[in-house]
Amino acid sequence: MPKLGTINELTAYAQELKAQCDPSKPCVTVCGGTGCRANHGLEVASMFEKLLKEKGVCDDIDVRTTGCHGFCAQGPLVVLVPKGVLYVSVKPTDVEEIITSSVQADEIIERLTYRLPGTKKRIAKEEEIPFYANQKRLVFAGSTKMDPTRIEDYIAVGGYSSFRKVLSGVEPEEIIDWVEKSGLRGRGGGGFQTGRKWRSCRKSQAATKYVICNGDEGDPGAFIDRSIMEGNPHSVLEGMAIGAYAIGSNHGYIYVRLEYPLAIENLQIAIEQAREHGLLGDNILGTDFSFDILISRGAGAFVCGESTALMASIEGFVGEPRAKHIHTTEKGLFGMPTNLNNVETWANIPLIIEKGWQWFAGIGSKNSKGTKVFSVVGKVRNTGLVEVPMGITLREIIYDICGGVPDNRKFKGVQTGGPSGGCLPEEKLDLQVDFDCLTEAGSMMGSGGMIVMDDRSCMVEVARYFTEFLTRESCGKCTACREGVMQMLEILDRMTTGKAEMSDIDLLEEVCLYVKENSICGLGKSAPNPTLSSLKYFRDEYLEHIEHKRCRAGICRDLTTFIISDDKCKACGKCIKSCPVEAITGQKKVTHVIDYDACISCGVCREVCPFDAVDTK
């Protein structure tokens, strides 16, 4: 592993690594993201290596464990390069057949290819699958091609060329100009102009400045930043190094929650490799620029995603936010000027430097440039990570890319922005997805979480769930958030248990507005969003919970009575076998019956019924 002493040495090394790459050489890439690992993905990769070695062809065929491919619903994923064949749900026992039939020959194993939902059509080529074909992968592109533990892979495909470019004589002010003109806005949720933040920090005359990468991704259902840190950690390091050079910083921190062990491991490997190559440390590549990065592990507090709480945590204090009368670009970490951006924001920087700000500004909508990665989960056929241009519609993401709602259920709503975001109804499916449009609709971009819900989702319960989460995660520093969010939860609890009165709706809205206007930090200010947006778009469900003591979705147990339809019940017996309290009885060819004295309204009968015969009354 060479220590690169000059910019020219890095250039020569990159050319050498690129020359060693043979695009025609067969390679098997196995997704090594957390999701595929949990489903025996590493065992699949090990089996490939073992069998190829036994067959004596391991030198002729590469096996590469990469970062997350994004198609999480179909993992473990195997891609055959350069053929472009994608196999899904691969098991270790499938590897022998893949090697014999597809790697050493040109046969397609149909049963391992992707089947288009609702049809018998199977698609073998990765690029032809709608999930991939309708995306625009820029930030996420490298994660599927490289081994994240090998810096050589990153450099061979152009990694650190942007860093090399800025060290070759580009003035810091010019870099900031490029970032400003690109229109890049922070991908962590607030959408603040990145270039403006950098310029503010650059203006400070302090001798010490810090750059921080916020990897404390705490939204339920969001795993964008985690996947970038796991799959392409060097893109984050390169972005931070460029940012540090631009604002005049020599010290960097990456704040990662402890629940991301693979991200921490791969980041630490990447940092050590960058140091050994001379890309971090003192007098980088023979210049007078010095910069190094440390990892700070967070304990999992959601509030530490807020910038000042995060900095307090790095300093060793309780993670509590402070009022921003003085911006962190003037007085942040350890009282010094600090520039903080999230993982995805930093990963965009090398692309902007490499391809030009005009290129980046040409992607996206009027005030939201570039692409955005979303984690799409919930009631949708193809859950996973998608990267799309800003300005795409919700419908295109949910239906064209992710395959729509499964089991022919009706789409009800989508929660964007996690606990801080809002619930948007079917009438908003053609809404453009960018910072401004989502905010105007009563939601927000957040870090990119997107939870799809069908007609069996209760919007009152959704609001209650997120409010309960935020009640636990509030640091308690300010009264508005500490007491107000708790009061919101108590009212929502009454609504979901049939104890609320009509006046509780007005009271709930009043408390929400107070919390929104008087909380210190973003956690409290955005905590009412799920409730206010669901009240705006799904008010009839609130009224039904209070007036009729009924939950049409069958989620709130105290407000739900299940019935079995005479017309639809086929007397298959699945509900009888699955009922945890034996409340269902019936004979063959006779409609089954629920004993309401024994029924606990758990809804298991409805979940297992293959004929949609169980409903609510």
- Condensed to tens digits (0 to 9), the pLDDT of residues 264-277 reads 999 999 999 999 99
The Cα–Cα gap between 262 and 6 comes to 32
The Cα–Cα gap between 251 and 253 comes to 7
SS3 148: coil
Cis peptide before 148 (omega within 30 of 0): no
Sites in the chain below the pLDDT cut of 50: none
* Helix orientation angle between 194-203 and 233-247, rounded to the nearest 10 degrees: 40
Q: What is the per-residue pLDDT across 387-433, written as a single tens digit (0 to 9) for each?
A: 999 999 999 999 999 999 998 899 999 999 988 899 999 999 999 99
Report which of 420, 74, 41, 374 is spatially closest to residue 228, judged by C-alpha positions: 374
Q: Which residue has the tokens 């392409």?
A: 232
Q: What is the dihedral of CA 366, 369, 371, 376, to 10 degrees?
A: -60
Burial class (CB in 10 A: 0-12, 13-18, 19+), 580: exposed
The Cα–Cα gap between 247 and 209 comes to 8
Identify the pLDDT of residue 419.
87
Contacts from 485-489 at CB under 8 Å and sequence distance 24+?
485/515, 485/524, 485/527, 487/511, 488/512, 488/515, 488/527, 488/528, 488/531, 489/464
Amino acid in the structure at residue 206: A
Domains and CATH numbers, the chain: 24-127 (3.40.30.10), 144-361 (3.40.50.11540), 371-457 (3.10.20.600), 460-547 (1.20.1440.230), 561-616 (3.30.70.20)
For 266-298, give the DSSP string: HHHHHHHHHHHTTSSBSSGGGSS--BEEEEEEE
Identify the pLDDT of residue 451.
95
The Cα–Cα gap between 295 and 290 comes to 17
Identify the pLDDT of residue 1.
65
CA distances from 386 to 134, 223, 360 (A): 9, 11, 18
* Structure tokens, 364: 């996206």
